[in-house]
Structure 1
Amino acid sequence: MHHPGTLIRDMLARGGAVPVPGCYDPLGALLIEQAGFQAAYMTGFSLASSYGKPDIGLLTMTDMVQQAARIAEAVSIPVIVDADTGYGGAANIAETVRAFEKAGIAGLHLEDQIMPKKCGAMAGKKLVPGEEMALRLRAARAGRKSSEFVIIGRTDAMTIYGLDEVIVRAKAMERAGADAVMVPSLSTPAELEAVAASVRIPVIYVAAETVRPSYTQQQLAQAGFAMALYPLSLIQTTFKAQQTMLRSMFDAGDTAHLVDGMAKFADVGRLVGVERAAAFDAQLNEPEEPTGS
């Protein structure tokens, strides 16, 4: 059986800004797979939001691993996860990697923020020195069982120190053995090109459609990005759709005028395996052929 990380490595090697949407639960991952995407991404902000909590390091490693395992079990496409800062020191980080890999995850990213961390789009972030981030990456490499498990280094330096420091940190992550680097908060074509050209390992773009300018897949590929993560696209779309529906229902007092905008009950059931479960149950309940004595 192939390691799921091999599929991610193949995508990164091919390049072309492969789009990978983010999700926070198995249903979202199933929808991503159904739409035809090659991989899914479990995003920390979205998972924290699904708990009704801000993404400020409140969720534990156990919280993240348990949900990642559910997501990986639900789909056949590989899953990348947000592992925040690794949830502790070197030994903790190695254990984090082992836990995610055992859960069937293809790879993870570690960031260079202090603990407790904050969502990359929030103000007030603080970073650890580059040497400490290098230690995190070395600990992650030492913790993985298979060399196919993908370890991605992420720097949040752009909004704090600017482009030059991003490039310094990206190069340091490459030297520390990261399989790829992930750089959020890039805004201009010049920034995109400079970061992508600064290292030899694959570079991953992080979309933030309602915060910074958006780029097409072709533009990102031409700039040199191997993959593009869309962490919040699904939750922000779902959030707005649910708000709109609930306001309309509240105003009308019922849902009679909203039915055309709803997914069919049978379609939801089919995606989550109702028909497969019924067929399995029917098969087990078929009378057995009598055997001769």
Structure 2
Amino acid sequence: MNRKEFDAIWESSFTDSASKGKPDIELVDFTSRTITINQILEVTTKPLIVDGDTGGSVEHFVYMVKTLERLGVSAVIVEDKVFPKQNSLLENVTHIQDTIENFSQKIKTGKNALVTQDFMIIARIESLIAGKSVEDALTRAKAYIDAGADGIMIHSKDKTPDKILDFCEGYKKFKRQVPLVTVPTHREVVSQHNHLAVHISVVPDGSCTISEFTVVCYAESALKGPEVLCSIGTEGSEVPPRTRVFT
């Protein structure tokens, strides 16, 4: 059977955190994440792109890129927010971007730490998430490319792709360009990939959300059954053990 396939795998910090029952605020330590990364690399030969969050401090980022390069990861995407970051999709939180100078230095230091030129450091621009303008995002893109970034990711949580499209149009005018990544992926962006000079689109973590929804629905249905003890494991209960539910 012929099936369509994705070209690469996105190792999302959100999904990695959610699978461990933790919030996506850079709470999962890097050593734990490398275990997940190794497990993925054991079962696929597709390129693996790792969501590196903010990369931590410049010193921490050096060890991150060295480790990921050694493991065989193809690229790391690091965002220009300050540590610890807040998940970009959260409402009513303040998203603080690093200065252009500081983040550019992080890119330069990371590039200098690499052994080969095969490993890519892609700069993720959070201007639109932080409520800033497309012009701010384009200014940062130019600076990050000058600092040595191998790619640029533009990120938006808007329901319409207008700002992403505006950024792409502005990016096309750059004299010097690197591969452009978009996330989340809108149909309008995908349909205009060639025209917009977009090289990679990241599909959001839908499988994680669907899995969580399914588990929650199943658990709630089980607890609604008349034979189920809702106060699970209550000491001294008269209900036989076989009717108790544990997760």
- TM-score over 0.5 (shorter chain): yes
User: What residue identity is the alignment partner of 1:86?
Assistant: G
Cα deviation per residue 1:24-69 (whole Å; 9 max; x = unaligned)? xxxxxxxxxx862221010011111111111112122212222112
User: What residue identity is the alignment partner of 1:45?
Assistant: F
Match of 1:137 in 2: 107
Is 2:217 the counterpart of 1:244?
A: yes
Is 2:123 the counterpart of 1:153?
A: yes
Match of 1:291 in 2: none
1:65 to 34, 46, 49: 34
1:174 to 145, 153, 171: 145
Any unmatched runs of 5+ in structure 1? 1-33, 255-293
Of stretches 178-187 and 242-251 in structure 1, the one that deviates more from structure 2 is 242-251
Q: Percent identity?
A: 22
Cα deviation per residue 1:212-252 (whole Å; 9 max; x = unaligned)? x6546223443221100123122122222333344445556
User: What residue identity is the alignment partner of 2:118?
Assistant: E
TM-score, normalisation: structure 2: 0.79
User: What residue identity is the alignment partner of 2:96?
Assistant: K
Q: 1:82: how far off?
A: 0.8
Is 2:97 the counterpart of 1:162?
A: no
Q: CA RMSD in A?
A: 2.3
Give 1:1-293 correspondences, 5 Å limit. Answer: 36-89=5-58, 91-122=59-90, 123-160=93-130, 161-185=132-156, 187-188=161-162, 190-199=165-174, 200-207=177-184, 214-215=187-188, 217-251=190-224
C-alpha distance in 1 between matches for 2:166 and 2:21:
34
User: What residue identity is the alignment partner of 2:139?
Assistant: V
User: What residue identity is the alignment partner of 2:178?
Assistant: I
Q: Tell me if structure 2 keeps the 8 A contact 1:45–1:55.
A: yes
User: What residue identity is the alignment partner of 1:231?
Assistant: P
User: What residue identity is the alignment partner of 1:240?
Assistant: F
Cα deviation per residue 1:230-287 (whole Å; 9 max; x = unaligned)? 2312212222233334444555689xxxxxxxxxxxxxxxxxxxxxxxxxxxxxxxxx
Q: 1:203: how far off?
A: 0.8
Q: 1:232 to 1:221 in 2, by over 3 A?
A: farther
TM-score, normalisation: structure 1: 0.67
Higher RCO (CA 8 Å, separation ≥ 6 residues): 1
C-alpha distance in 2 between matches for 1:152 and 1:190:
19
Q: 1:192: how far off?
A: 4.5
Number of equivalences? 216
C-alpha distance in 2 between matches for 1:219 and 1:35:
20
Q: 1:48 to 1:253 in 2, by over 3 A?
A: farther
C-alpha distance in 1 between matches for 2:28 and 2:18:
10
Q: Tell me if structure 2 keeps the 8 A contact 1:196–1:225.
A: no
Q: 1:232 to 1:112 in 2, by over 3 A?
A: same
More helix by share: 1
Q: Tell me if structure 1 keeps the 8 A contact 2:80–2:124.
A: yes
Q: 1:158: how far off?
A: 1.1
Cα deviation per residue 1:95-130 (whole Å; 9 max; x = unaligned)? 110111112211101111111112222331101110
Q: Tell me if structure 2 keeps the 8 A contact 1:69–1:105.
A: no
Any unmatched runs of 5+ in structure 2? 228-247
Cα deviation per residue 1:153-211 (whole Å; 9 max; x = unaligned)? 01111132121100000111111111110011163164253354254111100116xxx
C-alpha distance in 1 between matches for 2:171 and 2:39:
33
Q: 1:148: how far off?
A: 0.6
Q: 1:138: how far off?
A: 0.7
Of stretches 192-201 and 160-169 in structure 1, the one that deviates more from structure 2 is 192-201
C-alpha distance in 1 between matches for 2:200 and 2:223:
41
